[in-house]
Amino acid sequence: MGKLAWGLIGGGEGSQIGPAHRLGAGLDGLFTFSAGALDHRPDAGRAYGQRLGLAAHRAYGDWQEMLAGEQARDDRVDLVTVATPNATHFEITKAFLEHGFHVLCEKPMTMTVEEGEEIVRIARASGRICAVNYGYTGYSLVRHMRAMVARGDLGAVRLVKAEFAHGHHADAADADNPRVRWRYDPAQAGISAQFADCGIHALHMASFVIGQEAERLSADTVSCIGSRVLEDDAMVNLRFDRGAVGRLWTSSVAIGRQHGLTLQVFGEKGGLRWSQEQPNQLYWMPLGGRLQVIERGETGLSPEADRTTRVTIGHAEGMPLAFANIYKDLAEAIRAQKENREIDPAANLFPRAEDGLRSMAAVVAVAESGKSEGAWKDARPPMFRDPAGDS
């Protein structure tokens, strides 16, 4: 089978995340960049699309035009990535799924739990893939952590500690800059700022690695910059569904921290530590042993780690290659569906609409708990509280 066709919505010139998607989708030669509606300004989107090599008639002015245009083609795109601002994710993702396209949606998948449940239902009913870009779970050593937990190297997981704390909105003098202010304005950002933007990455990664879902949580949310309505810092305590305890800190006022995503897992038989800013090393401390540094690309790692590494040991792999692993998984999932066969289990690890929905339920629980002095809240989406719904 030849290359799959890929389309991008959003991710226009100067956007933060567009280049990482283009690099990720193109890296392994699995997808051809075939169509796009890249910018909220139609002419700018068309022009940029053509400069990136799209045919003029597939460099669309907006996503509705792209939906109509692609639907009419025999060689329509196989996968559409939605990399627009948050409030638009729901309607674009829904429309493309309903018209039979596979979708990779940026996080947060939706603005509400109800919308998240609707996307899950549509994806399940349509049989289309709806993935959510928790792209950091594509890192080879994150996949390896998950494999180590799953094969029992740590024994039962007692504690998981996740952080996503940066300092990029710490300047009180800049708090009214419109590019910063909207993030803390409920009219534009919804019910949560920092947790919905970054905390959900940390929570998703914790769940992914330990193979457990958040059941209950208690949150302390604060706006360290007083003019902000929504939180710029949150500390969240969690209980997972198979017994692990979680501690999660997210902040945008942690001056000196850059990206700030880190994960530590402590089990009965050992502890792991990994950080997004040094993603090629994983620290492993077996109980009663010595601290070991596991290097990405070493021989003898898990099949999940081997599948998601490309460059030889000692050369750094970074974030666009982690995104490329999500695309690699998706290419395998789409091909398996087209060929009516089972997906390679090592590729069946990409985050799905169900994960996007779980994140939204956690966002609501954090916001509600934060408003009620840390009262414990159910962190699960309503449709997953009944075990029959979680299938």
Contacting residues toward ligand NAI, per CB under 6 A: 9-12, 15-17, 37-40, 62-63, 83-86, 88, 106-107, 133, 135
Query: Distance between CA 16 and CA 83 in Å, rounded?
Result: 10
Q: How far is the CB of 16 from ligand NAI (least distance, A)?
A: 3
Q: How far is the CB of 61 from ligand NAI (least distance, A)?
A: 9
CA atoms within 13 A on the CB side of 17: 16
> Whose Cβ is closer to ligand NAI: residue 9's or residue 203's?
9
> Whose Cβ is closer to ligand NAI: residue 200's or residue 301's?
200
Query: Distance between CA 248 and CA 370 in Å, rounded?
Result: 14
Task: Find out whether 160 and 246 touch, Cβ atoms under 8 Å.
Answer: yes
Q: How far is the CB of 9 from ligand NAI (least distance, A)?
A: 5
> Whose Cβ is closer to ligand NAI: residue 26's or residue 42's?
42
Quote the distance between the C-alpha of residue 251 and its chain's center: 18
Query: Distance between CA 283 and CA 286 in Å, rounded?
Result: 10
End-to-end Cα spacing for the chain: 31
Sign of CA dihedral 276, 278, 281, 287: negative
> Whose Cβ is closer to ligand NAI: residue 77's or residue 294's?
77
Q: How far is the CB of 319 from ligand NAI (least distance, A)?
A: 8
Q: How far is the CB of 152 from ligand NAI (least distance, A)?
A: 30
Residue, CB closest to ligand NAI: 12
> Whose Cβ is closer to ligand NAI: residue 235's or residue 319's?
319
- H helices of the chain, in order, are 18-26, 42-51, 63-71, 89-98, 113-126, 140-150, 178-181, 186-189, 194, 200-210, 303-307, 319-338, 353-371, 382-385
Q: How far is the CB of 181 from ligand NAI (least distance, A)?
A: 14
Other beta carbons within 10 Å of 17: 16
> Whose Cβ is closer to ligand NAI: residue 107's or residue 377's?
107
